[in-house]
A = this chain, B = another copy of it.
């Protein structure tokens, strides 16, 4: 295919309005030092000609690229897509991030990078060199990858770290994991549960720990023991099966289980079914994520809703603000999720004796 040239350029607008290129540029970028009447005249020409600045040219002259790069873990994301378990993390990121970008005239470009690869840094460097994004959004586990964080910091590219409490660099945002875990625990305690088990996520994710912290804190407040109630998990269905078997097969099993992912909650439900344990009659289950499928199980699962879209949206806003010179927030932005109550939680079975 032949070369494609811009049909309407800043030159055309300048000629049409009878002003210099610079004035047009000033109008486009909302810069000061343009008389209102001048601005109007230029805007009229822009509208008339249907002029839209070329992002490539803008970027070339040292300005913004109007591109925000969203980085997700390759392995996990592809597994989610292929698995077709209805994991809608990416959709929700697009919903929040892309739409917010559009409001500001930015675009979001999605990129997969493998955290466990030796080439992470090279991959990221390549993406940055090729696209010259104005900002980067990191999701777990990238958010706490020192190689990635260090590179971005060094290159002075504003970046958001979703699911991280941050540190010296970047803009940290969390979905209030500790608070969510506390609310889930509180919900179960309020229903009368005393023995509440917890299946954590992969230790590679900081948020896994925070959720455990939340559960422990709320249990402590209610003066409830947690011994033998913390299983092991890594977000996957398989790990959920093992964890649920472990918890439910113990001498003094819990009457409620909080799982750090829908997949593990689904696994817990399945294990309970296998063991002839009625949900929610004999066992209550709360899950994390609230992906679409949890509404279709029998019973539907009570779940912590992760505000992914809202968080992505905030990340975009914060990046654009940073790009415009806003100071780096000192505290992590905490976007609070909700607890959606469904059929999997109820009062515990009546104790036979004290």
Listed in ascending order, the chain A residues whose CB lies under 8 Å from chain B are 1-8, 50-57, 59-60, 62-63, 65-66, 78, 80-82, 84-86, 88, 90-92, 94-95, 98-99, 102, 107-112, 122, 125-126, 129-132, 134, 155-158, 291-293, 296-298, 309, 322-325
Contacts and interface: CB of A to CB of B under 8 A. Distances in A.
Contacts of A322: 1
Nearest to A90: B91
A2 B158 CA distance: 11
A92 to B, nearest CB: 7
Given A292-B86, A293-B292, A55 B131 contact: yes
A132 B291 contact: no
B1 A84 contact: no
B4 A156 contact: yes
A81 B94 contact: yes
A171 B91 CA distance: 27
Given A110-B110, A126-B52, A81 B86 contact: no
- A66, A98, A108, A322: residue with the most chain B Cβ atoms closer than 10 Å: A98
A50 B78 CA distance: 27
Nearest to A325: B1
A3 B63 contact: yes
Contacts of A90: 90-91, 94
